[in-house]
Amino acid sequence: MGFRLFVACFLFIVSGIVVLAKSETPEPKNGVTVYVVRPGDSLWNISKRFFKNPLLWPRLWSFNPFIDDPNLIYPGEVLSLKPRVPKLPVVKIKPGVEEVSIKEVVEPPPPVFFYSRGGHEGFISPDEWEHMGTIISSEPPKILLGEGDTVYVNIGYEDGVGTGDRFTVFRTSKAVLHPLSGRRVGYKVAILGEIEIVEVKGKHLSSARIISAFREITRGARIRPSEPFIKEVVLKKGKQRLYGSIIETLNNVELSGRGDIVYIDVGEEDNVVPGNTFSVYKLPRMAFDPDRGGGITIPGAFVGRVVVLNVQRETSTAIVLESSRQIERGDTVSLDVF
């Protein structure tokens, strides 16, 4: 309780007031209509600079249809800061005909985050994820498997399997421990790829083809019926202040930056939903002052922002939208309430 109160007080001091995106995209700052991308730019910070609201980045993306992946823009690219309005034909009105102006009010669509690699982000499960079968061999036999390879799985007609059925390939890691409290949070589930049944060969045997591979697949990988991959989420405002921590990363790296996957210790039980955004902070820390022989407090700071892709009971999977410094396990997250 004391730690959460301390976090809340700190974030109240350092965080600004975030305003909900207006229904209309504002005019770009200083009337600028185009912008040349510089190193370190993102649609998020460009929208913040010119529209004074980073959540308007999906509209900036819509103004520039040549951008395939909004997470990847490159120095030198020229972005349009206004929609391209097509020229309309001029209609002449005959004398004596009263001109009637009809305005249709169209509600703008909500901002949407598009994730081109949807499906491979994984999650933290409170318990070991149930599986239906296992990859037991391949044709030809080899250690590392990838897209296009033929594999054998230990499920067949007695398991209700049919030709064309698809299964998610995954691996469950050892238990994930909270970086601050040390308690067990759950098990990290890494999504490796997807297979499609080619032929059912027996009661508990089928051949399958790997139709997608996000990372290396090996014998012993587990499978379960596939679910649709989510590649876009509608950005949603938080309903009330909520604080948590970054507890793990997808690739077991110590430091994370823009585009990386992280896991946080708040989820469905905390009313978190896909599309929620969280600000990431470094908490104040103590340092030794050799001149005065005592401790000195180094202030905390805002270091980035993440958006939630999927939610479990007590945890959520998120992708880093922006980062001014490297993000690491133990960093504090605060739900953005607009």
pLDDT of residue 16: 36
Positive or negative: CA dihedral 218, 220, 226, 231? negative
Check pLDDT > 60 for residue 56.
Answer: yes
Q: Which residues contact 175 (CB under 8 A, 6 or more apart)?
A: 184, 185, 186, 187
Rounded distance between C-alpha atoms, residue 54 and residue 43, angstroms: 8
Q: Give residue 21's identity as a one-letter amino acid code.
A: A
Residue, of 198 and 69, whose pLDDT is higher: 198
Rounded distance between C-alpha atoms, residue 296 and residue 294, angstroms: 7
Q: Does one domain contain both 246 and 323?
A: yes
CB-CB neighbours of 172 under 10 Å? 17
Check pLDDT > 70 for residue 103.
Answer: no
Q: Does one domain contain both 63 and 158?
A: no
Q: What is the DSSP string of 106-171?
A: -PPPPPEEE-TTTT---EEESSPPP-SEEEEEEES--SSB-TT-EEEES--GGGT--TT-EEEEEE
Q: Span 128-134, mean pLDDT?
A: 92
Q: In the listed set 83, 101, 131, which residue is the last one of a domain according to the structure?
A: 83
Check pLDDT > 80 for residue 165.
Answer: yes
In a domain, 209, yes or no: yes
Q: Which of 222, 217, 223, 221 is nearest to 143 (CA)?
A: 217
- Dmax over CA atoms of the chain, in Å, equals 92
In a domain, 2, yes or no: no
Check pLDDT > 50 for residue 6.
Answer: no
pLDDT of residue 34: 73
Q: Given pLDDT bands bounded at 50, 70 and 90, which one contains residue 273?
A: very high
Q: Which of 309, 219, 333, 217 is nearest to 260 (CA)?
A: 309
Range of the domain at 59: 22-83
Q: Does one domain contain both 221 and 236?
A: no
pLDDT of residue 267: 96
CB of 138 closer than 8 Å to CB of 145: yes
In a domain, 153, yes or no: yes
In a domain, 320, yes or no: yes
CB of 194 closer than 8 Å to CB of 167: yes
At 276, which CATH number?
A: 2.40.10.410
Q: Give residue 111's identity as a one-letter amino acid code.
A: P
Q: Does one domain contain both 240 and 220?
A: no
Q: Does one domain contain both 150 and 221?
A: yes
Q: Does one domain contain both 54 and 143?
A: no
Residue, of 112 and 45, whose pLDDT is higher: 45
Rounded distance between C-alpha atoms, residue 217 and residue 191, angstroms: 10
pLDDT of residue 76: 67
Rounded distance between C-alpha atoms, residue 338 and residue 320, angstroms: 19
CB of 311 closer than 8 Å to CB of 274: yes
Check pLDDT > 50 for residue 87.
Answer: no
Q: Give residue for tokens 């007609």.
A: 157
Q: Is 268 helix (H, G, I), strand (E, B) or coil?
A: helix
CB of 70 closer than 8 Å to CB of 42: no
In a domain, 299, yes or no: yes
Q: Which of 138, 177, 337, 325 is nearest to 263 (CA)?
A: 177
CB-CB neighbours of 306 under 10 Å? 28
Q: Does one domain contain both 249 and 208?
A: no
Q: In the listed set 192, 210, 225, which residue is the last one of a domain according to the structure?
A: 225
Rounded distance between C-alpha atoms, residue 194 and residue 226, angstroms: 8
Q: In the listed set 83, 113, 134, which residue is the last one of a domain according to the structure?
A: 83
Q: Does one domain contain both 238 and 217?
A: no
At 58, which CATH number?
A: 3.10.350.10
**C-alpha dihedral (252, 258, 262, 265), degrees to nearest 10:** 140
Q: Give residue for tokens 């499960």.
A: 125
pLDDT more than 70, % of the chain: 81
Q: Does one domain contain both 173 and 250?
A: no
Q: Which residues contact 159 (CB under 8 A, 6 or more apart)?
A: 132, 133, 204
In a domain, 282, yes or no: yes
In a domain, 60, yes or no: yes
What are the pLDDT digits (tens) for 287-306? 887 888 888 887 778 999 99
In a domain, 99, yes or no: no
Q: Span 84-104, mean pLDDT?
A: 52
CB of 8 closer than 8 Å to CB of 241: yes
Q: Does one domain contain both 135 and 202?
A: yes
15 φ/ψ angles, rounded to the nearest 5 degrees: -90, 145
Positive or negative: CA dihedral 256, 120, 211, 68? negative
Q: Does one domain contain both 213 and 250?
A: no
Q: Does one domain contain both 183 and 254?
A: no
Q: Span 180-190, mean pLDDT?
A: 94
Domains of the chain: total: 3
